[in-house]
Amino acid sequence: MMIYLRLLTESFGFAINALRNNKLRTLLSLLGVTIGIFSIIAVLAAVDSLDRKIKGDLSTLDKNSIYLMKFSFGPSDIPDWKTDQFPNVTYDEFEYLKKSLNDLDAMCFQMFTKNENIKYEGKTVSSVNIGPTTYELEDVQMLEFQKGRFFNESESNSGTAVIVLGHEIAKSLFENFDPLGKKVRLYGQKFTVIGVMKKKGAGIFDNNEDTSVYIPVNFLRNLYGDNNELITPAILIKPVDGVDIEAFKGELSQKLRQFRGVKVGEIDNFFINVLSGFTDMLDGIISGLRMGGIIISLFSFLVGGFGIANIMFVSVKERTNLIGIQKSLGAKNKFILLQFLFEAVTLCVIGGLIGIVLVWIITSVLSQALEFDFVLSFANIMWGFGLSVIVGLIAGIIPAISASKLDPVEAIRSGM
């Protein structure tokens, strides 16, 4: 065991000497490995961070939550021209389904509409995301409040001019003052602030709750009606835990078809978008991005491997005399082989560690500069370390074999 430890120590010493004595040559050789490791780990860190962000944004919704609307979240066999002819879901359909569906935990009616400006005294916040919804949204999503509350059933049904502000909207309009009970102007009318949401940060789908506000959906229905082109309605449905989602979808489809009078043999003129299907599609995209990035980065790694192989062939050439002396003193072929293999692995690990440190520095800087949490996981670091060792073994094996097979007499003579 001690002899292998000594062999490893000597190989590490040879690698450090190569770095010290041939700085430019070694630097250029290590650069390929460093760039390769940097590319792969950076891609893995970016994709993992994106995956974590998406899952975090969707965490407030149950995986079996359903968006019922005229559009599909994913690819569809139905052509766009036909989808455009589908009717929007309506408030009447929402009320019907709410009363008739079995295994229903909660359901709310939402409208997606254009951004608006909000004013308070002399201050204005532009391009605010407006979230018209019914009071049940609080039961469907896990809403968290910094202060105040969400609007109740009476306020929701009557379309009372009350408003719940996102954290950044409240901060921009009121700074350090308490916004509860204050009047803000929206749609040319005054809304009473009844709640402020907790700070959450930007969402991956441009759905930042911090820069959004919620108002009763019936206020907007009273203002614009139900057939305005600026509005896209949706029904958000949360089944009870443990429900057979396929059976639930079948019941939902059957009841809505019946309410709309869709004939037997005709296709559904609506889409039942289950969040789990959407997340599965996103997982597929994330996996594709990860695999594509790794394949592209491996080309950089390949170049780095050639660089290490080149420096090892040069090292064997320069130390031919020393190899001959070692073999004449009794060093076996396998020790010469392991010596050069260890040296190649050491050089690759040094280059890999530099790449990993660069990724760590860049992810730390970007996390501070952007509202996005870049994650460099321990698993990715071990990936980088493992790949460095593998490239070192592959790049060093042929030079190491050629060194181990040298004839000691010829090796000593060639060095004279």
Nearest one of 204, 212, 239, 253 to 61, comparing CA atoms: 239
Does the structure show a pLDDT above 50 at 205?
no
**Given the structure tokens 């009763």, which residue do they identify?**
216
Q: Is residue 274 one of the residues assigned to a domain?
A: no
pLDDT band at 147 (very low <50, low <70, confident <90, very high): very high
Q: Which of 18-32, 85-99, 195-209, 331-345 has the highest mean pLDDT?
A: 85-99
pLDDT tens-digit profile of 254-310?
A: 999 999 998 888 898 999 888 765 666 666 677 777 777 777 767 767 777 777 787
Same domain, 233 and 110: yes
Q: Which residue has the higher pLDDT, 216 or 335?
A: 216
Q: Is residue 68 one of the residues assigned to a domain?
A: no
pLDDT tens-digit profile of 39-57?
A: 778 877 877 777 777 666 6
Please answer whether residues 151 and 162 qualify as being in contact, where contact means their C-beta atoms are separated by less than 8 angstroms: yes
Which of 111-120, 142-151, 289-298 is least confident? Answer: 289-298
Mean predicted lDDT score pLDDT of the chain: 81
Q: Is residue 65 one of the residues assigned to a domain?
A: no
pLDDT tens-digit profile of 373-409?
A: 777 778 778 877 888 888 888 888 888 888 778 777 7
Phi, psi of 364 (to 5 degrees): -65, -45
Report the pLDDT value the prediction gives residue 372, as an integer from 0 to 100: 67
Same domain, 134 and 188: yes
Does the structure show a pLDDT above 80 at 206?
no
Same domain, 116 and 160: yes
Helix (H, G, I), strand (E, B) or coil at 132: strand
Same domain, 366 and 295: yes
Mean pLDDT for 336-353 is: 80
Same domain, 394 and 311: yes
Residue where one domain finishes, among candidates 220, 249, 269: 269
Q: Tell how many helices (H) and how many strands (E) occur in the chain.
A: 14, 11
Report the pLDDT value the prediction gives residue 204, as an integer from 0 to 100: 45
Q: Is residue 310 one of the residues assigned to a domain?
A: yes
Q: Tell me how far the alpha carbon of residue 237 is from its chain's centroid.
A: 25
Residue where one domain finishes, among candidates 220, 241, 269: 269
Same domain, 328 and 222: no
Structural domain boundaries, residue 327:
2-57+281-414
Same domain, 377 and 303: yes
Same domain, 367 and 406: yes
Mean pLDDT for 157-174 is: 92
Q: Is residue 276 one of the residues assigned to a domain?
A: no
Same domain, 235 and 352: no
Residue where one domain finishes, among candidates 222, 238, 269: 269
196 vs 176: CA distance, rounded Å: 13
Percentage of the chain beyond pLDDT 90 is 25
Does the structure show a pLDDT above 70 at 3?
no
Report the pLDDT value the prediction gives residue 162, as an integer from 0 to 100: 95
Nearest one of 92, 83, 84 to 267, comparing CA atoms: 83
Output the pTM of the full model.
0.63
pLDDT band at 8 (very low <50, low <70, confident <90, very high): low
Report the pLDDT value the prediction gives residue 7, as an integer from 0 to 100: 61
Same domain, 101 and 197: yes
Q: Is residue 74 one of the residues assigned to a domain?
A: no
384 vs 349: CA distance, rounded Å: 9
Please answer whether residues 26 and 357 qualify as being in contact, where contact means their C-beta atoms are separated by less than 8 angstroms: no
Same domain, 211 and 295: no
Report the pLDDT value the prediction gives residue 152, as an integer from 0 to 100: 93
Please answer whether residues 341 and 397 qualify as being in contact, where contact means their C-beta atoms are separated by less than 8 angstroms: yes
Q: Which residue has the higher pLDDT, 259 or 350?
A: 259
Percentage of the chain beyond pLDDT 70 is 84
Q: Is residue 69 one of the residues assigned to a domain?
A: no
144 vs 312: CA distance, rounded Å: 60
Report the pLDDT value the prediction gives residue 108, as an integer from 0 to 100: 94
Q: Is residue 80 one of the residues assigned to a domain?
A: no
Domain count, the chain: 2
Count Cα atoms within 13 angstroms, Cβ side, for 110.
21
Phi, psi of 362 (to 5 degrees): -65, -40
Q: What is the largest CA-CA distance in the chain?
A: 101
pLDDT tens-digit profile of 212-243?
A: 999 999 999 998 888 888 888 999 998 888 88
Same domain, 304 and 331: yes
